Amino acid sequence: MPRIAVLDDYQSVAKDFCDWSQVPDAEVVEFHDHLVDEDAVAERLQPFDVVIAMRERTEFRRSLLERLPNLRLLVTTGMRNKSIDLDAATALGIPVCGTAVSSISTAELTWGLILAVARHIPQEDASVRAGGWQQTVGMDLAGARLGVVGLGRLGSQIAPIGLAFGMDVVAWSQNLTDERAAEVGVRRVERDELFATSDVVTVHLLLSKRTRGLIGADDIALMKHTAILINTSRGPIVEQQALLDALHQGTIRGAGLDVYDQEPLPLDHPLRSAPRTVLTPHLGYVTRNTYETFYREAVEDVAAYLAGAPLRVLA
């Protein structure tokens, strides 16, 4: 009987969001807490034949994979996972399979953060609950400029919504062409122009060696003091200290963040006390539809592997 570990099921929904009858003989164990220490993770997972990982919450380095002698299959939700050493998994004979993922839920959250920062929604909510009334003055989006850093799948969903708000939408990335920008209905500009002229800068890039730390102090220094920075992509793309300095010095209006250098965010992390911020705990993909897809296809992956015909193999 295969033993299946479902990791980082924070909301305790894994059992309810899909049909596990496809693996009727399996013992399924959900873990609702998050372990950071590799020794603790190794001890927990040693008995399991199959591990289902939720996005990039738990790292699977070579050093961990080598300590899991019973592991026969590793399933990740989504088709990319920077937290899994795919080369090591291949070398150790551990197949890695993925699932489909939709980016629309992240696009929706991005706009939630933009509106929350622009209109000071968390502050005004707290004020009303405390007996206050109208503490801030908001920012109009109509007529403002939206700068989209990265016009891939997610950036291409963000841009039309900006146009619907009546915003002037521009975009930049290292490989973006005028033709590609025009296909989305926006205009390509140079990097410095985007940061210097945009009222909202929103980041939508994949994390790689090239993009790690891509947005730094020089870019943030170009931004208007009335501008907003949004990051729902990956935390390390934006230099954390440069952003913290800008927030504390008031050189930008604010920031809306869903992603961080460390996740979960440590209790003493300086962003927790940073001014002019709206922070969410990496909720971009956390919706019912997305979770149902994740878990349904994860179970399909397990069933297919056990039947000798693995699906969506990444390594």
> Looking at the structure, do residues 19 and 60 belong to the same domain, yes or no?
yes
Question: Can you say how many angstroms the Cα of residue 125 is from the centroid of all Cα atoms in its chain?
Answer: 26
Question: Do residues 237 and 299 share a domain?
Answer: no
- Could you give the CA distance from residue 70 to residue 86 in angstroms, rounded to a whole number? 17
HSE-CB at 164 with a 13 A cutoff on CA atoms is 6
Mean local confidence (pLDDT), 52-59: 96
The average pLDDT across 17-22 equals 95
pLDDT of residue 315: 87
Residue 59 covered by a domain: yes
Alpha helices in the chain (DSSP H): 38-45, 62-65, 86-91, 104-118, 121-129, 153-164, 178-184, 191-197, 217-222, 240-249, 288-306
What residues act catalytically? 234, 263, 282
1: confidence class by pLDDT, cuts 50, 70, 90: confident
Q: Is residue 124 part of a domain?
A: yes
Same domain, 220 and 239: yes
Q: State the total domains in the chain.
A: 2
Please indicate, yes or no, whether residues 95 and 130 belong to a single structural domain of this protein: no
The 3-class secondary structure across 131-145, one letter per residue, is CCCCCCCCCCCCCCE
Q: Are residues 251 and 120 in the same domain?
A: yes
What is the tens place of the pLDDT at every residue in 163-197?
A: 999 999 999 999 999 999 999 999 999 999 999 99
- Mean pLDDT to the nearest integer, 7-32: 96
Residues 76, 159, single domain; the answer is: no
In a domain, 312, yes or no: no
pLDDT at 54 over 90: yes
- Go through 57-82 and write b for each residue having 16 or more CB atoms within 10 A of its CB, e for each that does not: bbbbeeebbeebeebebbbbbbeebe
95's CB contacts (< 8 A; 6+ apart) are 72, 73, 74, 89, 305, 310, 313, 315
- Residue 315 in domain: no
Residue 182 lies in a domain: yes
> How do residues 198-255 score in pLDDT, each as one tens digit?
999 999 999 999 999 999 999 999 999 999 999 999 999 999 999 999 999 999 999 9
* Residue 259, token pair as written in the block: 């992603």
Give per-residue pLDDT as tens, 103-161.
999 999 999 999 999 999 999 999 999 999 999 999 999 999 999 999 999 999 999 99
**Are residue 81 and residue 125 in the same domain, yes or no?**
no
Contact at 8 Å (CB) between 205 and 145?
A: no
> Could you tell me if 247 and 124 lie in one domain?
yes
- Same domain? For 71 and 144 the reply is no
The answer to the question of residue 144 being in a domain is yes
**162 and 62 fall within a common domain:** no
In this structure, the answer to whether residues 193 and 298 fall within a common structural domain is: no
In a domain, 200, yes or no: yes
- pLDDT at 218 (0 to 100): 99
CATH code for position 93 = 3.40.50.720
Residues 195 and 255 in one domain: yes
- Domain membership flag for residue 203: yes
Report DSSP letters for 149-207, one per residue. Answer: E--SHHHHHHHHHHHHTT-EEEEE-TT--HHHHHHHT-EE--HHHHHHH-SEEEE----
Q: Which domain holds residue 200?
A: 104-279
